[in-house]
Chain A
Amino acid sequence: MKLLSKKVKCNAHGQDSSYFLGWQEYEKNPYNEVRNPRGIIQMGLAENQLSFDLLESWLAQNPDAVGFKKNGESILKELALHQDYRGLPAFKNALAEFMEEIRGNKVRLKSENLVLTAGATSANETLMFCLADPGNAFLLPTPYYPGFDRDLRWRTEIQIVPIQCNSSNGFRITGSALEEAYKEAERRNLKVKGVLVTNPSNPLGITLSLHELNLLVNFIEAKGIHLISDEIYSGLVFNSPDFVSVMEVLMNKNYMNTQIWNQIHIVYSLSKDLGIPGFRVGAIYSNDKEVVSAATKMSSFGLVSSQTQYLLSAMLSDKKFTKTYVSENRKRLKHRQEMLIRGLRNAGIRCLESNAGLFCWVDMRHLLSSNTFEAEMEIWKKIIYEVGLNISPGSSCHCAEPGWFRVCFANMSEETLNCAMQRIKVFVNSECKTNVNGSNRNQFWNKNSRRKSLANWVFGQSFHDYKYER
C-alpha cells in the first residue's frame, strides 16, 4: 500500500460516511413489494422517478432522435466521431434554452458560456480545479449534500469550511454566519476562494430567498471571491416562492459586464430535473471566459457521450414537450411531498417547510434520547435495521444540530411510500411507548385493509414483535 498515492489511502472520498453506509445496508436487503416486503425501503436516494412515462411517450413519438437519424438519414458516424469538447452545438443551445425556461425566462443564458461535464459531480470538481489551489477553502452553508466532501475536496485537496445554519431561523443563511465562516477559515490559515451554495437546497428542499441571494452577492463582492450556485434542482420547485437564480439577481442589479459578473458560476445537471442520472449530463455556466476556457479543456476528463447529447438535444428542443414535462413533473412532486408530510404528521413528526427538491428535511429531535449526535446515530440505526428505512442522518450532511434527517419521496411508488409511512408510525408509537390495545390495531386494520403488502408488517405483528423479527 506504500506504493499507492495518499488519495487512495485517505478517506476524503467520503464513502465511510453514514450517508453511504445506509445505501450499503439497503443494497444487502432491498425492499420489494412482492419479493421482499420486509426489506429496507430506500429513502436516501434523491432520484426523480415520477415522470418516466412522459419521457417514454416522447421517445415513442420521435424515432429519428433515438435511431441516430437526422431527417431519416443516419448520423451514427458523425456522432461516434464527435469528441469535440465544445459539445454538439445543437445540444448546448437546447440546454441553455431549457435552463432559461426553468428560470421563467427571466435570464438570458448563452450557450458559449456552457461547459458540458459528466454529471454535476464532475462539474463541481472541475470548478474547484479552476478556481482554487490545493489548501485553499470554499465556504458552504450547512447542512449540505454529503457528496460535496468528495467532489470538492478529494482530488483537488481543497478544504470546506462550514457556514453554520440552524433551525432557529429555518436554516437560512445569515450575514453573521457568512462572516463567522470567513473568520474561521482565517483562523485555520486557509485562503478562502469562494462560497458554494445549492439552490434549491439539498438537503433542506427550500429555495434561497432574495434576501439570502443578495447577502451572498454582497459578501462575495466585498471579499473578492467566487460564488458557485449549484442549481441542480432548479426545475423541481413545486410551490411558491418561485425559483430565483443568482444570475437573475445580478441582472436585476444591472451587474452585467461588471467584475462580479465573472465571479458567479452555475452548476447544473439533468439528473434530477429529467430523472436521467445514468446519462451523466452536467454543465458549468460561467460568464468568465477564462473559466469557460479552462473548464472546457478539463472536460476532456469527463465529456458527455455524443449519443446522449444528440438524444437530449432533440428532446430539449421540443419546447412543447419541455413545457408540459416541467409543469406535470412539478405537480406530481408536490403531490408526493404532501403525501410524505401527511404521513409524517400522522406519526407526530414535523418537517421543515419546503417548496422544492426530492426530499423533506425531517425533524426527529423529539425522538432522540439526548441532544447529541450519538443519539442521532442510535435512532438512525434503529430506523435502518428495525424500521427498515434508509434515510440520511443530518450529521452526514454536516448539520450543526442533531436530530434532523433527510427523507426522499420521489424515488418509489406511492404504495411503497405509504408502506414507509406506516412503518414510521409504528416505530414512533413504540418509541413514545404509547399503549397498545385492540382498538389501536383495529384502527390500522380499517385504514389499511386494502394494502395487502403491509400485512406482515402492520397486522401480523404487535408493536413489540417487529423489533425482533427485523
Chain B
Amino acid sequence: MVLLSKIATNDGHGENSSFFDGWKAYDSDPYHPTKNSHGVIQMGLAENQLCFDLIQEWVENNPKASICTPQGSNGFNDIAIYQDYHGLPEFRNSVARFMEKVRGNKVKFNPDRIVMSGGATGAHETLAFCLADPGEAFLVPTPYYPGYDRDLRWRTGIQLFPVVCESSNEFKITRETLEDAYEKAQEANIKVKGLILNNPSNPLGTVLDKTTLRDAMSFICEKNIHLICDEIYSATVFDEPGFISIAEIAEESSVSKHRDLIHIVYSLSKDLGFPGFRVGIIYSYNDAVVNCARKMSSFGLVSTQTQHLIASMLSDDIFVEKFLDESAKRLTERHRVFTRGLAKVGIKSLGGNAGLFCWMDLKRLLKEPTFEAEMELWHLIIDEVKLNVSPGASFRCSEPGWFRVCFANMDDETMRIALQRIHKFVIQKTGLDQPMTRKQYKRSELEISLSFRRLDEFIMTPRMLSSPHSHMTSPLVRART
C-alpha cells in the first residue's frame, strides 16, 4: 500500500467533525418553494444574496467588462495571457479604492500592497506560511469561524490558541483575556507569533470598537507579535456603530514603528456576494510579507477574466456607492425582520450590526447547560423544525446554547417560512394556537425545554464540520441550476 502524506490522511481539513449533519440533512432534503416545500431551509450558509439584481443590471449594461463580448473582446488576448502575480494594475487599483470607500474614505490603501489569493481561505493560509513556522501559534478569540482550523493549521502545521470570550460581557475581547491567553500559551510552551481578529465578527455579527482595536494593537506591540485582521465582512455593516478598520489604527502616528506587524485579509465573497469568483486579498504593511505573499500567490491567483470584470465594476464609482448604500439598507431590513421574528417567540440574539447572520441565544431551551444538550437541540432543529443552523460548539464557543443563523442567503418568502416554522415549533411545544403575550412566551420556553427529552432518534455519528463561511463546506453545497 503506497501511503499518502500525513496531511492527506489526518483530520486537519475539519470535515470529519460532528457538525456536518446539518449540511447533510439539507443536502438530502433541500427546501424548494414549489418542488420541496417541506425540505430543510439552509440557514448555515453565510452568503449575501440580497443584491444580485443590482449586480446583474450592471453586468448587462456593461458588456465591455466581459472580455468575451463583442464590446470587450479586443482585450481578450492580453487578459488571457496575463499571468503576472502582481495582478492587473486596474484590478489592484479598483480593489484598493473599493476598500477605502467601504471604510468611509477614512484610510488610504496603496495598490502595490494588494496581493491576490485564492479567496480569503488562500489568504489566511498564505499569511500563516509567511508569519509562523510549524508548531508556532496564533491566538484567536472564541467563538470563531471554524474554517480557521483548516485554513491556518492544516498544511502549515501552525496551532491556534483560543482567547476565550464570554457572554457575560457580550463576547468582547479585553486586554485581560488577551493577556490570559498569552500566558496560558507560554505555560504550555507554545510560541505565539500572532493574533487574529475577525472584524466584523463571524459568528457574532458585531464590530470591534476603537478601544478594543487599540488594546489589541498595544498588546501585539508589547509582545512583538503579528496582528491579522480578517475584514471579510467590512461592507456588511448595516447599523451603528459603524465599521472601524485596523487600517485606521495603522495610520495613527503612535503606531508607525509597529505598522509592519499589521496584515489585513479581505475578499469579495461576502460584501459583493461573489464566492464563486475566488477573489481573496492580503493587504500587508510589511514589505517582506507583501513580497513573499506575492510569490506564494502563484498558488492561488485570481483568474484574469475575473480581475478584469471586478476592475471594471469597482471602478464605476456611481455603481459602487449605490450598491453599498442599497446593500446596507437591505441587510438592515432583513436583520430587523428576522430578529423581530425571533423575539416574538422569546428568542434573543446578541445585538449585532454587521454580517450575514445572528448569534442566537437558545440557552433557555437546553435541557441542561451542556454541549451534549446543545447537540440534541441542534438535531431537533434540523430534523423537526427543518432548519440548518450552526451550533456554537462548532465555533468553539465556551458556553453551550448559542447558535448562528444566517439570513441573507434566501429570499423574503423563504425567510418568512423559516420564521413561521420557528413560531409553529415553539407554539406546538406549548400547546397554544394563538400569538402569545410576552409573559406567555417566557413560560413556554420552560415547557419547550421539558419536551426536548425525546431526542433518542437524533443521535448522529461525528461527520463533517459546518461552515459559517460556507465555502469550506462546499462538498455539500451544490450549484443551483
Contact = CB atoms under 8 A, between A and B. Distances in A.
Given A4-B130, A129-B7, A300-B471, A307 B73 contact: no
A278 B79 CA distance: 7
Interface stretch (B96-104, B301-309, B435-443): B301-309
Contacts of B309: 307
A282 to B, nearest CB: 10
A367 interface: no
A155 interface: yes
Interface in A348-362: none
Interface residues of A, number: 83
Contact of B2 (A6, A55, A86, A259): A259
A124 to B, nearest CB: 10
Nearest to A81: B276
Given A52-B76, A130-B4, A278-B79, A297 B480 contact: no
Question: For the complex, would chain A's binding face be called helix, strand, loop or mixed by DSSP majority?
Answer: helix
B460 interface: no
B412 to A, nearest CB: 16
Contacts of B6: 133
A59 interface: yes
B239 interface: no
Interface in A131-187: 131-134, 136, 150-151, 154-155
Interface string A285-311: 000101100111110111111111001
B472 A300 contact: yes
Interface string B31-65: 00000000000000001010010011001100100
A226 B155 contact: no
A150 B226 contact: no
A202 to B, nearest CB: 16
Contacts of A308: 303, 305-306
A304 to B, nearest CB: 7
Output the residue of B276, B304, B472 with the most chain A CB within 10 A. Answer: B276
Interface stretch (A7-15, A93-101, A370-378): A7-15
B15 interface: yes
Interface in B223-249: 224-226
B111 interface: no
Interface in A16-60: 47, 49, 52, 55-56, 59-60
A133 B304 contact: no
A3 B221 CA distance: 12
B143 interface: no
A60 B63 CA distance: 13
A263 interface: yes
A60 B151 CA distance: 40
The contact size tier of chain B is: 35 or more
Given A80-B276, A279-B304, A130 B5 contact: yes
Contacts of B150: 297, 300
Interface stretch (A71-79, A209-217, A228-236, A462-470): A71-79
Output the residue of B63, B134, B296 with the most chain A CB within 10 A. Answer: B296
B55 A80 contact: yes
B298 A224 contact: no
Contacts of A150: 295, 298
Contacts of A281: 303
B262 to A, nearest CB: 12
B93 to A, nearest CB: 18
B118 interface: yes
B55 A226 contact: no
Given A13-B295, A59-B76, A302-B118, A83 B5 contact: no
B225 to A, nearest CB: 8
A278 B276 contact: no
Interface in A335-393: none
A155 B277 contact: no
Interface stretch (B119-127, B168-176, B335-343, B390-398): B119-127
A350 B122 CA distance: 45
Interface in B3-28: 4-9, 13, 15
A83 B9 contact: no
Interface stretch (B199-207, B267-275, B350-358, B376-384): B267-275
The 4 A-B pairs of least Cβ separation, nearest first, read A66-B68, A278-B304, A306-B276, A302-B300
Interface of B: 1-2, 4-9, 13, 15, 47, 49, 52, 55-56, 59-60, 63, 66, 68-70, 73, 76-77, 79-83, 118-119, 121-122, 125, 129-134, 150-151, 155, 193, 224-226, 261, 269, 273-278, 286, 288-289, 292, 295-296, 298-306, 309, 470-472, 474-475, 477-481
6 contacts: A15-B295, A119-B298, A122-B299, A133-B6, A301-B155, A305-B306
